[in-house]
Amino acid sequence: MAENVIKLPRLFGKYYLLELINVGGMAEVYKAKMFGVEGFEKIVAIKKILPEVAEDGDFISMFIDEAKIAVQLSHPNIVQILELGKIEDSFFIAMELVNGKDLKTIRKRLKKVELNMAVEQSAYIISQVCDGLDYAHRKTDEKMNPLNIIHRDISPQNIIISYEGNVKLIDFGIAKAKSKSTKTQAGMLKGKFSYMSPEQVAAMPLDRRSDIFSLGVVLFEMLTGKRLFLGKNDVETLEKIRKAEVPPPSVFNHDVAPELDRIVLKSLARDRDERYQWASEFADDLKRHIFSLQRRFDRQDVMNFMSEFFADELEEDSAKLAEYAKLKMPKQQAPQIVAPTVRSDDDDDDDDDRPSPRRGSGSGAKTWLILLAAMVGAAVLGVAGWNIVKDQQNAASLIVDSNVFATVVELDKNTTQHKRCETPCKLEGILPGQHEIELRKDGYITQQETLMLKTGETQTKVAKMFKVGEQTTMVEVRSEPGGARIFVNDKDSGFDTPFAVNVPAGIEVTIRVEKKGFLPVQQLLGVIPVTESRKVSFIMKDSKGKDPSTVRPVHEKKEERIASKKEQHAEDGLKPDRAYLTVMTTPVTQVYIDDKAIGNSPVQRYELSPGEHKIRLRNSTYNIDKMVPVELKAGQHEKLVRNLF
């Protein structure tokens, strides 16, 4: 093995291998520096096949499969794959580097000081992993066919917490997908034994619910500080998993509430039909539980925890990164700034040697004046050139990257200092001071931030872009009276008030509640950032004393509405020769009926003549302009409810 030791740092294609991070049975992972055009630099991770298995065709196929699967995944809770390559007859994967620690290392540090991770922190971290896992499970190809990706190796080693508080799932090395070229042999177990599911150890066909079981094991161990299925040997471990006898976590940690016991035990049900069927369901229950604790917990809290428990490592890593920043690509020629030169008429070739036919006594003075003017001009331009050089030396630079390729970067938009590029990119010649940066990409939430750049500084900004509606936050909904059905953007949440429902972050949110015997009521909450939660309360008005059994909610079936209309119109006070229309939309729109502007939605019980009408819904902010034809009958009240996103 001595001949295979790599001296670091070492050039590896367009990368510099800086330090060895981890070595496994088949591959090794390095921290590396990537070089690109125009001085672009980025610290990444390089996963490289070990020399002793470089001739193993099966492993190489599995290694390539990992890259092919993971490169399709772009999610803030999954490590991003940047490149699959081959250098010096060795395959490698370049991926996003996460500066932090895996859960196994964190657990060891906590055990050393005889502490368990805080309950809400454990729930938050696993909910973030659920978000990434659910994205992978639901991933489709370009034709919208499901890829059926299963990770198959969910374990503490494959969950990394960054020093910034971000949670990342890594290593799809043995992931199963419909498109894989390699196939697992019958009876072959892949993954870490103590985190396998019962169906996995029984070598049964697997689906996404196997990953949910494995993640439940990780959560149990985070809450209790104890290994769940680890036996004296592999055989005993596998037998424990087959039985899947799981005590409530509260037996070992009294801070675990009964609701969290229920969540953990459901994720660890031996029968996969009794588990959470999707990771998103697992995440929703965890987020609701955190919300119910009345203790706000988010990325900032995780960052504070990491900064406290790994202060020495964080300081050491920061010092290393500062040193790595000085490392340059060999033979790379830095662009030089050259002060402008001044050329006078006297610089023309042979002028001094060619006699002038009109040179007289006055010509000498004229020549001296020309020379003097040229010298002054040269001095002025020389000073200007020096100022240009000085300004360039004082100027700051900004390197911008994002998890979504070709994100548009706008610096100081609508100003004379405006600069634009697409990630990954480098902006140079920026004056020191405060600057506004905007990052945008179609289909993603636009981000805006204020940056402070120092003289001569090169600052790096790595942005995480989120798809519109991809992230969720919580809204606590209450009503008087309670028991009203909650609708989020016109979709039935399946829950009644009072309840904390998930809502999409980054887009407009409308909450509506409906209850038999009461008029429906809704409220536009606007765009809710993912870092915020909201509370909303409704006071519902009864239906003017009529029999509650005759009052229909909006979500009632059409057949039921038709059957009751004849009985309703007289009690509702509807005119038998007129028709009525209510319009509710998400987002709020300008409502036009037969080209007449009525007002903004919601429009409540607008009186019209029976017959056909054209309803136009407009919202310039979201570029919405939709025409909806309706047919209204005499004595009836129809509701037009539309989600226009």
Q: Which residues are catalytically annotated? A: 153
Q: Are 605 and 579 in contact (CB under 8 A)?
A: no
- HSE-up of residue 385 (Cα within 13 Å, Cβ side): 12
- Dump the DSSP string for 83-99: EEEEETTEEEEEEE---
Angle at 548 between CA 542 and CA 549, to 5 degrees: 160
Residue 564: phi, psi to the nearest 5? Answer: -105, -5
Please tell me the distance from the alpha carbon of residue 172 to that of residue 176, in angstroms, as a whole number: 8
| C-alpha–C-alpha distance, residues 222 and 109, integer Å | 12
What are the two backbone dihedrals, phi and then psi, of residue 77, each rounded to the nearest 5 degrees?
Answer: -105, 15
DSSP state of 40: -
Of 39, 38, 47, 40, the closest CA to residue 12 belongs to: 47
Q: What angle do CA 354, 355, 359 make, to 5 degrees?
A: 140
CA dist., res. 56 & res. 47, Å (int): 16
At how many degrees (to 10) do helices 208-224 and 119-138 cross?
Answer: 170
d(Cα 70, Cα 147) in Å, to the nearest integer?
Answer: 12
Question: CA-CA distances (angstroms) from residue 367 to 346, 370, 562?
Answer: 9, 5, 105
DSSP state of 548: G
CA distance 588 to 643: 10
Strand-strand pairing, 472-480 and 534-539: parallel
Nearest to 70 by CA among 58, 56, 87, 84: 84
Half-sphere exposure of 306 (CA within 13 A, CB side): 24
From the CB of residue 151, how many other CB atoms can be counted at a distance below 10 Å?
27
> Could you give the strand order of the β-sheet that contains 167-169, starting from the edge strand earlier in sequence?
100-102, 159-162, 167-169
* 117/309 Cα distance (integer angstroms): 11
- Residue 108: helix, strand or coil by DSSP? helix
Phi/psi for 188 (5° steps) reads -85, 130
CA 12 vs CA 16, 89, 92, 523: distances in Å: 6, 12, 10, 58
